[in-house]
A and B are shown apart, each in its own frame.
Chain A
């Protein structure tokens, strides 16, 4: 693996708040709060945030243009967090910046030729002054400007032209790292497109590492390969651009994305209440997701396939022990045979389906077996084999795939029986309880790789598996719909239906009463 070009460890920047009276305690305003990140060579990193999020400060801190209050900053393997400006000077050839406001970043008293060659002169790379005009012309041509402009003053150019001059100055020294701070925000969409294309081609041709600071997610999506979302001085989320837009995890990121007005007529867009926040967990959008569903041949599994397609999933892998039973006519549904108790098969499939970002562990069995009242361990073993071990295999096999794809999610179909016990089905309940425990453990283990792990715990559902249960029973489609809503909202535990949510509330209020009540609930 290549070494990062920039790496920041608990980087903080704070400003002193001026004291009114000398004996008051010094107050600080923290702009950046212990930020950690790495930038690999050649990467195009977008830094996104709203005003006051600290994004400009982060850009300037990277180049040590503001004073760091704590933390470590490595550039090209060298610790520059405490270097003096004089010691930094030679490194500045390798790191350059383009500023937000081309009006203020170009000295109004200098001609364009002097502005763009200034870096070369500062580093003694232009020993022959007679070459100045020629060099300046070449630089202007590289950024798509007419070389005739070299004798002009900045105020004689248009906004887009000035921004190009800023770019020309920044690339004059052929730096490794280029930080561009909101450089298209003041431009018309047409000039903006030109500047984006210019940056794209420059960074490709010059092997630049680009840090692109912007409030505009659409531009970042176009230009960058990975994104940091800053919120109130902290990194809310970091992911590949693709990953971020496909499953934005932080509620703030999701709000940002939802607030982008797409040029598509949508009468409801303004009515969608963007104050509904996530419930604190990681969330994932189904739209454009690639989903694998186990046990897709029956009840809930089938409902999942339909609902996923309806919600705009890019691709659905429907798996079952006997794939021929999966009935679907959608073009983007692909069937695969899979027995989740067959660990090798699970791993084989994982290596094949490398684009999955949502796993729905739906497969499960119910042997309708009591605990003490049954003889032997076969039923219990079979249930554990599928409900617990099979699901675990799936998690083990697909976790790296999800990581590769930016995080993704695992959604495990459990039951309210994970939380309560039913007489005569104790064995199933135990396996489902193990499943819940599994969810919690896997969630903790995969938190670092940004994978959501969700438990869905419905009450009785109207499927062939629970045909012996008395009503009321939920329709599978409703369960699925509630589960996916919860996932999109960022819930970690989803209780579809009244029965499940009622029991969940009861459990947190008075578990004993629930136990008593359920003692009389008998299937069949």
Chain B
């Protein structure tokens, strides 16, 4: 039984007279307590999947078809208010850029406790106490001071810790991490990844981890889905992916990575032929589903 089930999700951006497919019948399935990596280059549609789950799709993007089932319930059939009750409580987000994801005019404490009072209905004083405990849990030194600080007083790594604390604060069942370490320095990235996995294991949360970095995938993910132009090309286990990638595109991505431990390994850009082939496939898919 799986926690999250995305079935044949098709999203189209309708702008003026043109319409662009953003997601082409995407299917994913996430098990309880597992980490699913969603991998692709920019424009592959990986963030769009997250937005569809979080009800953050742009106004002009329409879900044409498909289903998102969370805990056996269809998210798309819920009312706006019902969905808001889930967001932040059962489904939480760790955003991409910690530098801009905290409101500059509100204190760290406000950020943390407003979620707690809103979703758990506890008092402000209690929420503050819990917030301090949460900051302590994500290994922030001196949480009593940090709780009254503003985001600009914290470093990037600290901010991401705060955001992780926010995400885990209501013990959600699913966390969507949208490139959570892309904006961070590599040493900070490692610490933040460690923290995310520690918290994930502690609370047995399912984690949808969106990234473009196969290196990060290798370190944190159990399952991987490779995306290209709004399609899922390959859906496999992480072990399988690095052992013997199933799709040519996956192999091409691995081949394009420079590796510091293998200086003599040639780096090969994804070949034009492969890209053309993939694009042709996309066109085929679009034509086949044109009348759906």
- Say whether A and B bind each other: yes
Number of residue pairs A-B, CB distance < 8 angstroms: 111
Give the residues in chain B near A255, CB-CB below 8 Å: 187
Residues in B neighbouring A197, C-beta threshold 8 A: 267, 269
Asked whether any CB of chain B lies closer than 8 Å to the CB of A448, the reply is: no
Proximity string of chain B (204-232) to chain A, C-beta cutoff 8 Å, 1 when within and 0 when not? 00000000111111111000000000000
- Tell whether B258 is near chain A: CB-to-CB under 8 Å: yes
Q: Check if A271 is an interface residue, CB within 8 A of chain B.
A: yes
Contact across chains for A263 and B190 when beta carbons are under 8 A apart: no
Is A188 in contact with B263, judged by CB distance below 8 angstroms?
A: no
With an 8 A cutoff between CB atoms, is B126 at the interface?
no
* B83 touches A (CB below 8 Å): no
Q: Which residues on the A side are within 8 Å of B259 (C-beta)?
A: 218, 221, 262-263
Q: Is B257 an interface residue (CB 8 A)?
A: yes
B215 touches A189 (CB 8 A): no
Total residues of chain B contacting the partner, CB 8 A = 39
Given the interface contacts A261-B215, A263-B217, A274-B190, does A193 sit within 8 Å of B260 by beta carbon? no
B256–A270 touching, CB < 8 Å: no
* Inter-subunit contact B185/A269 (CB<8 Å): no
CA distance A257 to B270 in the complex (A): 26
Pick the residue among A191, A223, A263 that contacts B215 (CB under 8 A): A263
Residue ID in chain B nearest A186 by CB atoms: B42
For this complex, into which size category does the number of interface residues on chain A fall? 35 or more
A315 at the interface (CB under 8 A from B): no
Alpha-carbon gap, A259 to B191, bound state (A): 9
A196 CB–B CB distance under 8 Å = yes
**Cβ-defined contact, A190 with B260, below 8 A:** no
What is the bound-complex CA distance between A266 and B193, given in angstroms?
13
Main secondary structure of the interface of A (DSSP, over half): helix
- State which of A190, A258, A263 has its C-beta within 8 Å of the C-beta of B270: A190
Instruction: Mark each residue of chain B from 101 to 120: 1 if its CB lies under 8 Å from any CB of chain A, else 0.
Output: 00000000000000000000
Contact between chains at B41 and A188 (CB < 8 Å): yes
B263 touches A263 (CB 8 A): no
Q: Are A270 and B193 in touch, CB under 8 angstroms?
A: yes
User: CB-nearest residue of chain A relative to B274?
Assistant: A190
With contacts A196-B267, A215-B186, A221-B263 taken as known, whether A264 is within 8 angstroms of B242 at the C-beta atoms is yes
Q: Given that A259-B187, A261-B190 are known contacts, is A269 also in contact with B212, CB under 8 Å in the complex?
A: no
Task: Give the residue name and chain of the A residue nearest to B237 (CB).
Answer: A265
Return the contact of A193 from the options B215, B218, B258 (Cβ within 8 A): B258
Given A190-B256, A191-B269, A265-B238, verify A270-B219 contact (CB < 8 Å). Answer: yes
**A223 surroundings in chain B (CB, below 8 A):** 258
Decide if B12 is an interface residue (CB 8 Å cutoff). Answer: no
Residues on B with beta carbons closer than 8 Å to the beta carbon of A194: 269
Complex interface: chain A residues within 8 A of B76 (CB) = none
Residue contacts A-B, CB under 8 angstroms, 26 given = A50-B185, A50-B187, A51-B185, A188-B42, A190-B41, A190-B270, A193-B267, A193-B268, A218-B259, A218-B260, A221-B258, A222-B263, A242-B263, A245-B260, A255-B187, A256-B187, A257-B260, A259-B186, A260-B186, A260-B260, A261-B218, A263-B215, A263-B259, A270-B190, A270-B220, A271-B194
Seed contacts A196-B267, A263-B259, A270-B194; 20 additional CB < 8 Å A-B pairs: A51-B156, A189-B41, A189-B253, A191-B269, A193-B270, A219-B258, A223-B258, A245-B261, A245-B263, A256-B187, A257-B260, A259-B190, A260-B260, A261-B190, A261-B193, A261-B213, A261-B218, A262-B261, A263-B218, A270-B197
